[in-house]
Structure formats: structure tokens, C-alpha cells
Amino acid sequence: MSGPAWSAGAPAEIDRRAGGVPARSTFPPLDELLAGFEAIRAAHPDLVRRRRIGTSRLGEPIHVYAVGGGPKQNLIVGGVHPNEPIGSLTVQHLIEELCADPGFREAFDATWHIVPCVDPDGYRLNEGWFDRPADRLHYARHFYRPAPDEQVEWTFPVDYKLAYFDRMMPETQALARLIDAVEPDVYVPLHNSELGGVYYYVSRACGPLFDILRAVPKALGLPLALGEPESGDLVAAADAIYLMFGFAHTYDWLEELGLDPVGPKPAGDSSTSYADRHGAFSLIAELPYWSHPASEDTRATEESYADLLARTGQSHVETGRVLTDVLAAAAPYLTLDTPLRRGAEAFAPGIADSGRAALARAAGPEAARPATEAERFSCEDVVHMFRLRFGSMTLQALEAECRAGLAPAELRRVARDLADVYERWQDDAVRATPADPIDLNKAAGVQYGAVLAAGALAAGLIDG
């Protein structure tokens, strides 16, 4: 029984449980993940309820598993970005502990709704690297991230100024229906990052929660990410903790920078924005696979922040140009309309756009200050991340045509030339950023701790 442990001190109990995720060195393929949930349901038929919430585009059923019957509704969703599988370890451990420990269930006074994977098609397309996730080149070479308008996380409806989006995928519709049915008090879509330190997004500020969120990675030996945030419009509520903003905030920010806030193939709003309508407290934990000590080094460098933004922004423009040129040269010969190709075609101009955003920010007066070591590290690594990820997706799209016997000699030459460029990008990335793999159970442990902290906040176990 763990009830007394919670009332005696939720932070210590969260720390302890975050450290208790079992070790493993691979990510489960989808069949293994779902088999694990089914085994738990078979072992605890009185505790675990399963309900189908929808169907993937390729026809696979999507299920939610519910445990507990308390009044607080905690909704935890894996696979919102199918290239981010740390959550698969988190949800597996969460349902196991909920079933094994009555005191743990009672402490939260909640019904837990857990979706193991809301994008099964996209998850399966990433399984090529799950056997050796510690190897960054192997990971990137088999990487798949859906085009923005095919990501469950970013395909919720929008109607703002010139932006209009209502083309929700079946998976997104399934999640929207579930959010409306559950009316969550706590909503945690399970994301993760790639290289650096740990950071979070929250839907509202909460000091006592922030203390726990920063203590858990420290206890597990993971650095915080104190460098450049994912997007220049983000506002930090505390070190490594950002406030979530809706679509309108980013739209207005891009407009102010003089950039196109809509783009040729717009996506929609986030699932957390959608959960707002029910007053949910939303939390996202971003955990890397590889850590780097520079990610929390806030000492000033000799380079100005403006120069750093301009230098790395120019690199993004160049990466985007290389990939856009490759896709233009390949276009007359491409016959397969695959998710990898649609992703490659969306991200090539997207990389250049993010470069232009950095260049616009470099020209602003607030960029006239020294950059920190953490900012330099994170800005530089994103250059490598974009090249490794989206160079690979472009290459995979071309290789699919070659392997299927559909590629004329011209297309094979385009693919070979890109393979040469990609090899240089791989060498550059390895030289620039030695990747120090994080134990997967520690990364999942930080995410698990965040899920428990959000649940504890809703249950009144910590002050809000």
C-alpha cells in the first residue's frame, strides 16, 4: 500500500517511482506494445476496461484502456508524434503499477484513461530503428515524422485570420471524440525530443509542480535544456518549463516577423488546445535520447546571439534548398505517394522557413547580446537534427522507388547524389555532437514522474 507515502510527501514518492521504471535497451514494436496491454487486461479483468475509440487510416483499431473509477479524469495518450516512442515505456509502466498497487490507485482518486498509441500506422513506420535506439545514425536513417498536416498532435480544427483547417484524420477525430467523452482534468500527450536536456510545456503556471518537474531529471542524472527553445515565440514560465500557446500566438508572431503564417500546406491546432475546452491541465515532458552537458551551461560565449541565429538560420536555409532541389529533380520520376514522400516534401521548405524566422529574429534589437553555451549547442545541433532526419526521409522516399523497380536511371542518379550528401551530413553530425545515450528507463522515468506530478496536482496531493 502506498497511500501513506503519498500523504507524507508526494515529491519524494514521485522521485522514487520515477526511478523505478525497468531497464531496457529497445523500444517495443507496436504488436509487442499492444500485446503487453492485452496481457495486463487478461490478468486484471476486474480492473482494466478496454474500449475502441477509432480506426487508423490503414484500418487498425485504436483502443483506450481505463483503470480506476475515481472522479478525476486523467487522459494519457501515446503516439501523438509516432517518431517519439519513449511514451510507450511510460504507459506500459503506468498501467502495470496502477494494476499492481491498490494504494497507488486510491491516492489519485482518479480514472486513468490510457491510449497506448493513437497513430499505429506512423509508429509502425518508425520500427526500423527501435532495435538500436542508442545509435543516432541508425535512428535517423530509419526515421519517419509525418508531414505537419498528418500529425495527430497538430491536426485539430483552426479558424483564425487567414488560417482555416478542418481536415482531421480519423486518428485525430478518434482523439477529439475521446477528449470530449472523458472531459479530462489532466491531459498528457506523450512527446519526446532528440538530443540535449529535459524540458516541459504546461498549460498554466504552478510553482510547486515546477519544483517537482525539475527535481526528477536531476535525481536521475539528466540535464535540463536551458538553451534555445523549439520555437522563438515560446515564453519560459521557469527554467526549462514553457507555457503552451495556441495556434493564434504563433500565427501572430510569424506575422510580426514578416513571414507567412499559413504556408502552402497548413496544419491545424494542437490536441492540448482542444483539451482546453474542458479546462484540462495539460502537461508535456520533452525527453531526449542523448544528453549533452552544454544543454544546461548558461555561461556567455564570445559570439553574439544575433550572429548565432544568423549563422544557424543560414544553415537551415541551405539544408532546405538542398532537399527542395533534390525533390524537384526527382519529381518527374516519382510515382509513389507515400507518407515518407509527403513528409519530405513538407519539411524541405519548412526547414528553410525556420531558417528565415531565425534570420528575422537575428535582426531584432533583443538579439544584440552574447549567446550562452546552451544556446550555441542547441542551435547548432538543430542544424544536424534537420539534416539527419529530413535528409533520411527524402532518401527513403527515393529508395522506395528504386527498390520497387520503378526508378529510371535519372532518378537513381538523384538518389545516389543525395546519398553522398547525406553521408557528409552524417560525418558532420558525429564530429560536432558526440551523442551520449540516456538509459531509456531514465528518460521514461522522467516522463512517468511528470504524469504522476500532474495527477498529484489534480488530486490535491501537491499544492496548485
Q: Which residues bind Zn ion (CB under 5 A)?
A: 81, 84, 191
Q: What DSSP string runs through 30-80?
A: HHHHHHHHHHHHHH-TTTEEEEEEEE-TTS-EEEEEEE---SEEEEEE--S
**Minimum distance from residue 39 beta carbon to Zn ion (Å):** 28
Residues linked to residue 114 through DSSP beta bridges, in sequence order: 65, 76
Residue 142 CB, nearest approach to Zn ion (Å): 18
Minimum separation from the CB atom of position 304 to Zn ion (A): 30
Query: Which residue, 86 or 362, is less far from Zn ion as judged by CB?
Result: 86
Q: How far is the CB of 272 from Zn ion (least distance, A)?
A: 11
Rounded distance between C-alpha atoms, residue 365 and residue 385, angstroms: 28
The grid cell for 55 is 480506426
Q: Which amino acid would we find at residue 45?
A: P
Cβ atoms of 62 and 54 within 8 Å: the answer is yes
Closest C-alpha among 429, 425, 220, 192 to residue 289 = 192
Beta bridge partners of 202: 243, 283
Alpha helices in 115-161 (DSSP H): 120-124, 136-141
Q: Which is nearer to Zn ion, 287 or 306 (CB)?
A: 287
Cβ count within 10 A of residue 163: 17
CB of 116 closer than 8 Å to CB of 229: no
Shortest distance, CB of residue 84 to Zn ion, whole angstroms? 5
Radius of gyration of the chain (CA): 22
Give the C-alpha separation, 305 to 375, whole Å.
8
CA distances from 159 to 163, 165, 173, 225, 277 (A): 6, 7, 17, 33, 15
The nearer residue to Zn ion, 84 or 119, going by C-beta atoms, is: 84
Task: Give the containing element (helix H, strand E) for 452.
Answer: helix 440-458
CB 301, min distance to Zn ion, A = 29
Q: Which is nearer to Zn ion, 86 or 222 (CB)?
A: 86
Spatial contact of 157 and 167, defined as CB atoms under 8 Å apart: no
Cell 519517419, located at residue: 144
Residues forming beta bridges with residue 67, ordered by sequence position: 48, 112
DSSP state string for 360-409: HHHTSGGG-SEEEHHHHHHHHHHHHHHHHHHHHHHHHHHHHHHHTT---H
Local structure of residue 156 (DSSP, 8 states): B
State which residue, 33 or 330, has the beta carbon closest to Zn ion.
Answer: 33
Shortest gap between Cβ of 81 and Zn ion (angstroms)?
3
Q: Give dist(CA 165, CA 269) in Å, integer.
A: 8
Q: What angle do CA 461, 102, 115 make, to 5 degrees?
A: 80
Q: How far is the CB of 191 from Zn ion (least distance, A)?
A: 3
Beta bridge pairs of residue 63: 52
Minimum CB–partner distance for residue 153 and Zn ion (Å) = 6
CA 178 distance to own-chain centroid? 20
Nearer to Zn ion (CB atom), residue 305 or residue 347: 347
Residue with smaller CB distance to Zn ion, 81 or 361: 81
Q: Where are the beta strands (DSSP E) in 261-361?
A: 281-286, 290-291, 300-304
Shortest distance in whole angstroms from residue 315 CB to Zn ion: 23
CB of 463 to Zn ion, least distance (A): 29
Considering the complex, what minimum distance in angstroms separates the CB of residue 118 from Zn ion?
Answer: 12
